[in-house]
Amino acid sequence: MLFGTESRKSASRGIIVLIFLSLVFCAFPAFAAEVSEIGEAEYVVRAGDTLEGIARQYGVDVNELAALNGITNKSLINTGQTLKIPGLEPAPAAETTPGAPNASWDSSYISIDVREVDIRDVLSALAVSTGTNIVYKGGATQITLRMENVTPLAVLDYVTRIANLIYQRKDGMIIVASRGDMSNYFYEEEAITLFKLHYITGDQVAERMNDSLMPASVSMVYHEGGSRYLWVKGLPGELARVRAVLEVMDTSDNILGGSDAIPDYLRFIQLSYLNAAEFNTVLGSLGFQPGIAMQSDSMNLLYLGNDDDFAVIAKIQEIIDVKQSSTTVKRVIDFTTDPDEGYERLQIRRDLICEMTGISPSRFYISSNIAKSSGSTRYIMYLRGTPEEAAEVERVVAQIGE
């Protein structure tokens, strides 16, 4: 059975295409490729084809393709010319073939002759004829091919190659997808990773981990008594989070103090609209130490700070982490921690920018003091305007400097 896009329609289509797999229809004499007796594919050149494009389609080297067909000028091929495509070998035994779920895939023989047929029809037919569940993670793709007296596995291998797909076996079923989609599919597989620590121990890490830093689904194995090895089991995204946390925890600052020296104020800042890398840039422009932005978790920024830091960052997030439109954006321009003349300095800087750009002062906003602790000061100035105005302000700010 085929699982995937429009799977309910696939069953009926599969029954029809199964007839194609059993008989070679003379009604479809035209074909894009066929399998020769020596196990090589043959391709009939169409108008607009190039040798490099054909080589890329079949995943072969263009020089090898040219040599096999005696072509000296790789820029010159003729419509209707038949090219041999190397690389399609007879199917090996099932035990050595990744993706071959049972003997029927390489012990039975079928013929197929189809023209501009949806790949899901062919995969449905293969699923029915072999009694295997096939998961197809893709959309409609038209394929044309002719193969005689070959195994279902050879058909699967050939079909996926001409459609620029790959296949893998998982839990007794076949998964067919693009290379990128296949990576995403298996990204959800749990893995076990060994982390080698340098300054702290595995039990110290486990002691300081909490729900805000790590999902409950992550499990850790460590030896008590100072071992610097930590085994962690989780999804790849979770393991990336562990790695980011350890980058902050496992530093030389903690070599003497033991677990008490490991920072308590290590948190993830969850973002709504800006991604972690963008928000990290904003914080840096406002004088904050950067956090850790992970590619695998782009909407969470790992940050080490105290309560005052997080209180100010929360205020900044309220201002900046908002939904942007194609006509209105927010940009941080400047900040100050000067309690005496800071606010006035921002006003002077705003007026200078307005004079140089012609942008109205009403587009600029200077916050109230967003510092939490008494005696501290932090004002920020930001622009709310069009993307073009933001770009012009950034250009002028870079020109006038500090």
Residue 308 C-beta-side C-alpha neighbours within 13 Å: 10
Residue 343 lies in a domain: yes
Which pLDDT score is estimated for 260? 65
Last residue of a domain, one of 155, 170, 185: 185
Read off the CATH number of the domain in which 328 is found: 3.30.70
Which pLDDT score is estimated for 92? 37
Beta pairing, strands 2-4 & 134-137: parallel
Q: How many domains does the chain have?
A: 3
Contacts of 8 (CB under 8 A, 6+ apart): none
The Cα 58–Cα 87 span in angstroms is 9
112 and 181 part of one domain:
yes
391 and 354 part of one domain:
yes
Residue 310 lies in a domain: no
Residue 273 lies in a domain: no
Which pLDDT score is estimated for 22? 42
Each residue of 121-153: b (16+ CB within 10 Å) or e?
bbbbbbbbbbebbbbbbbeebebbbbbeebbbb
- Structure-block tokens of residue 390: 């933001």
Which pLDDT score is estimated for 21? 43
Place of tokens 């729900």: 211
24 and 97 part of one domain:
yes
98 and 178 part of one domain:
yes
331 and 367 part of one domain:
yes
Q: Which amino acid is at 270?
A: Q
Q: Considering all CA atoms of the chain, what is the largest pairwise distance in Å, rounded to the nearest integer?
A: 91
- Structure-block tokens of residue 288: 């904050």
The answer to whether 174 and 133 have CB atoms below 8 angstroms apart is yes
Which pLDDT score is estimated for 2? 55
Which parts of the chain have pLDDT scores under 70?
1-41, 47-48, 56-59, 79, 87-104, 106, 170-172, 183-190, 211, 224-225, 255-264, 295-296, 402
How far from the centroid of its chain's Cα atoms is residue 89's Cα? 32
Q: Reduce the DSSP state of residue 17 to 3 states and report it.
A: helix
Q: Choose among 379, 374, 381, 339: nearest CA to 359.
A: 381
- For residue 343, the enclosing domain spans 324-402
The answer to whether 150 and 33 have CB atoms below 8 angstroms apart is no
131 and 116 part of one domain:
yes
Which pLDDT score is estimated for 343? 92
The answer to whether 336 and 286 have CB atoms below 8 angstroms apart is no
Read off the CATH number of the domain in which 199 is found: 3.30.1370.120
164 and 197 part of one domain:
no
Q: Which parts of 286-386 fold into alpha helices (H)?
A: 307-320, 342-357
24 and 135 part of one domain:
yes
106 and 216 part of one domain:
no
> Which strands, in side-by-side order, build the sheet including 173-177?
2-4, 134-137, 173-177, 166-170
153 and 221 part of one domain:
no
Place of tokens 């009926």: 12
pTM assigned to the model:
0.48
The Cα 229–Cα 223 span in angstroms is 8
The Cα 110–Cα 265 span in angstroms is 65
125 and 231 part of one domain:
no
